[in-house]
Chains A and B, each alone.
Chain A
């Protein structure tokens, strides 16, 4: 495994002056950056030229691939993701998506595709190449197998047409978000290529490697990219070529616009660069603060961010489909304004911060601990979103992390709980395409957030942090699975966590705890559903004293007796609402007698709300 990471002090070479362009290499040349030491499996040396008028890319890549498996490889599979966007019906992606993604439709006048124009070995031997599946995969037969430990070098020329922004990538006017743009190898695992066609719900999976990329754009353009800019050359034809270097990463994405401005901040040795559009100047402080706290907290909780730079790219209001996406060392921020009209400027909501934090959390749980997002999306999005909730609660307060509008507050965790309650029977585990779009959201975001938060409440905060940091440390720069996570979690917690993994991850178990009766000296609690999570029962007596009793929840009904105590006033199971997957908290507590004063108070509030509404609706 890749255990040795050299973390670095980068103050000498990183950008220090706000207002310098991202592509300005001058401030970057004093000392060489130190990168994490990672065994490179698939490395890419690329040249690409953007034609902003025709929205096309012309590129050449030299792929250096090391067979780290135990058997010889006879063919190579690579992804051509942009081919999913040739039209609105023929690809698997479009058929599954229906054909919209995150509410945005593909503009069929501006489709996307990748065409491999030539492919050969390092020595010039041409190779036969075929498109397979729905043409989002390519396969080539090798003249000689690659033996274990041996290296293959491929030279590929390609052209790509960028779509109008759709499903994370493309252009909007002169803004370009260039993701999944080059022919990229699948992952050789267990004597086969782990590479699927591009599915609508699925994200990506790739090997770690080193990237050396030279991007040519018109000279007025500013580029933000994975990695660090190491040189820039002005060309005679009015273009500029900027070279970016990234080591120990699983992908390379970049963005360009002539309007980009930038602001930077440094935290824990990492330079955070926010590249934004002038109309979103108001987001600078918000995004940088969110990023700074995210890098700092996640570093404390899980392990240090291992790369020298993190770039955050702003997207135009009209190109929201390009936002809210993670790439190694680069994330695309989300909608700058809740209304999408640039009116509220995020004064009432924290969606911009939430999305920024979420995407940055992916730098730990995707970019470094590189899950197979196609086969086990819950690990990728679930752990990331759990980290997001955790951070938003602690930094911004637990009750209003999404919306703060007058007396109306909405926090992220409750939003996720609402989604979970819509269909709690969805297992978290499954391939991305096993779910429809709604259930994908529940299985990979909502339910894992609640399940992991419940796990934290059950095992305790410190143990949970130890689980997560151990998991990060053991599996950074590799591709762990659910079983790996289970192994670490149970080892660190020192207990079997069947309820979590068998009940919630793989299973469709549900749970509702309730107090069914309260008598003078006894009470009965009930577990409805098959999910068993240890909890507590709090009893309040008429003399004002309370007693907390542990209940393992194994029996579906349990009676507790208190013969020597004062009469029971009320009893509550899970009184602190630690079990977030409990389907109904509202039946967790029962009083022996009706609470008349509370009933009157609620009725008074209802009365007032109705009076107020009548006044608002009527002329009087």
Chain B
């Protein structure tokens, strides 16, 4: 029987913060990978925008996308043929091109999200679990490579299961609401939120326990994660609620900043938005590092 650590939610956050601060290289890796992935994706649309940058609409877009521009972008597939039929061919077909590019990017974006995340997760968790006195790039990269395939697989499988679970919950809620009236939503919505939260905790702990137990058997890790959630639900819920609260505060601060004229200038927006990305990444890593403190103490090496 594995012994459980006796930390509460706040202590887990504190522990996570300590480990996060001890290994800034992880934040740097995560940020660079996120930035490079995004730069790769933004390259084509940015080049496509060179020609429209002669149109004054670019000034509007620079201050934030207005509804009318989104409307035109979305409807360009119908207005463009209309004009082709009724007038001289249009000079700027860039709206339609942009729509095509955006659709393409949206299609490949999940890939760009999952690949780096699946790669970094192994090394990140290994470093936080082992907590070495000094950060080792060699050990970090070994961890990344060792669990890369397994994490890709588990992300794929559990991702699909998550979709099914969320779909089933939505259908159930709609059916309950239809049968018993809207008042039932006060019960079904919190219940669904709880189920989804617990499920997401299980997903996160599946990866963590795989590293902790030095195993690539994801089903075994999944079983351990379920057992942990059953044994310590309150501490886990408290921990994740605290993490969520901090994240929401960061989001609120950033959104409030966005509303001010202060960040409407392009360069300043770039700086502020990158700080926000760093803050989001930091919070994510603090959560992972803190989760280590709640999981079982003794590892069973592969």
Contact = CB atoms under 8 A, between A and B. Distances in A.
B86 A530 contact: yes
Nearest to B73: A586
Nearest to B114: A618
Contacts of B75: 418, 421-422
B269 A572 contact: no
Contact of B82 (A411, A583, A599): A583
A608 interface: yes
A525 to B, nearest CB: 12
B165 to A, nearest CB: 17
B58 interface: yes
Nearest to A572: B56
Nearest to B74: A418
Chain A binding surface SS class: mixed
B257 interface: no
Interface stretch (B35-43, B130-138, B219-227): B35-43
B260 interface: no
A16 to B, nearest CB: 32
A605 interface: yes
Nearest to A618: B117
A143 to B, nearest CB: 54
A558 to B, nearest CB: 14
A423 B78 contact: yes
Interface string B85-116: 01110111001000000000100011011101
A586 B41 CA distance: 24
B83 interface: yes
A407 B69 CA distance: 15
A608 B277 contact: yes
Interface in B107-157: 109-110, 112-114, 116-118, 120-121, 124, 151, 155
Contact of A516 (B52, B53, B91, B121): B91
Contacts of B69: 586
A414 B114 contact: no
A95 interface: no
B207 interface: yes
B72 A586 contact: yes
Contacts of B56: 570, 572, 588-591, 595
A409 to B, nearest CB: 6
A605 B269 contact: yes
A14 B115 CA distance: 70
Given A318-B178, A422-B78, A603 B46 contact: yes
Contacts of B59: 595, 598
Given A586-B95, A598-B61, A418 B113 contact: no
B49 interface: yes
A7 interface: no
B117 A602 contact: no
Contacts of A614: 34, 37-38, 109, 112-113, 116
A279 interface: yes
Contact of A584 (B30, B72, B74, B178): B72
A515 B121 CA distance: 52
Given A418-B74, A516-B91, A599-B53, A510 B82 contact: yes
A597 interface: yes
B53 A610 contact: no
A611 B35 contact: yes
Contacts of A1: none
Interface stretch (B4-12, B180-188, B233-241, B291-299): B180-188
Given A591-B56, A601-B269, A611 B79 contact: no
B57 interface: yes
Given A279-B182, A343-B182, A343-B189, A587 B92 contact: yes
Contact of B30 (A530, A593, A620): A620
B169 interface: no
B103 to A, nearest CB: 14
B67 A421 contact: no
B125 to A, nearest CB: 10
B262 interface: no
Contacts of A411: 67
B68 A584 contact: no
Contact of B181 (A279, A406, A409): A279
A619 B203 CA distance: 10
Contacts of B181: 279, 317
Interface in A262-289: 279
B68 to A, nearest CB: 6
Contact of B86 (A337, A342, A529, A606): A529
B78 A594 contact: no
A588 B267 CA distance: 27
B177 interface: yes
B175 to A, nearest CB: 12
A585 B39 contact: no
B284 interface: yes
A424 interface: yes
B72 A585 contact: yes
Contacts of B61: 598, 602, 605
Interface in A380-434: 399, 406-407, 409-411, 414, 417-418, 421-425
A318 B174 CA distance: 12
B1 interface: no
Interface in B163-203: 173-174, 177-178, 181-183, 185, 189
Contacts of A617: 109-110, 113-114, 117
B41 A589 contact: no
A424 B37 contact: no
B50 interface: yes
A406 B252 CA distance: 10
B63 to A, nearest CB: 8
B83 A421 contact: no
B153 to A, nearest CB: 13
Given A279-B181, A409-B67, A614-B34, A620 B109 contact: no
A577 interface: yes
Contact of A595 (B54, B74, B76, B113): B54
Contact of A421 (B50, B63, B78): B78
Given A317-B182, A343-B189, A604-B270, A611 B86 contact: no
Contact of A606 (B45, B72, B124): B45
A342 B189 CA distance: 12
Nearest to A424: B82
A586 B65 CA distance: 12
Contact of B87 (A512, A577, A586): A512
A84 B192 CA distance: 42
Given A343-B185, A529-B87, A589-B57, A406 B68 contact: no
Contact of A615 (B72, B269, B270, B284): B284
B95 to A, nearest CB: 6
B231 interface: no
Contacts of A594: 50, 53-54
Nearest to A423: B78
B67 A399 contact: yes
A417 B266 contact: no
Contacts of A584: 72, 76, 79, 83, 90, 95
A605 B268 CA distance: 11
A535 interface: no
Nearest to B120: A620
A414 B86 contact: no
Contacts of A577: 68
5 contacts: A337-B182, A343-B185, A418-B74, A583-B83, A610-B105
Interface of A: 279, 317-318, 337, 341-343, 399, 406-407, 409-411, 414, 417-418, 421-425, 510, 512, 514, 516, 526, 528-530, 570, 572, 577, 583-591, 593-608, 610-620
User: Top 7 A-B pairs ranked by shortest CB distance?
Assistant: A601-B266, A342-B182, A589-B56, A618-B117, A528-B87, A617-B113, A421-B75
Given A421-B79, A608-B273, 4 more contacts: A406-B255, A597-B62, A610-B38, A619-B155
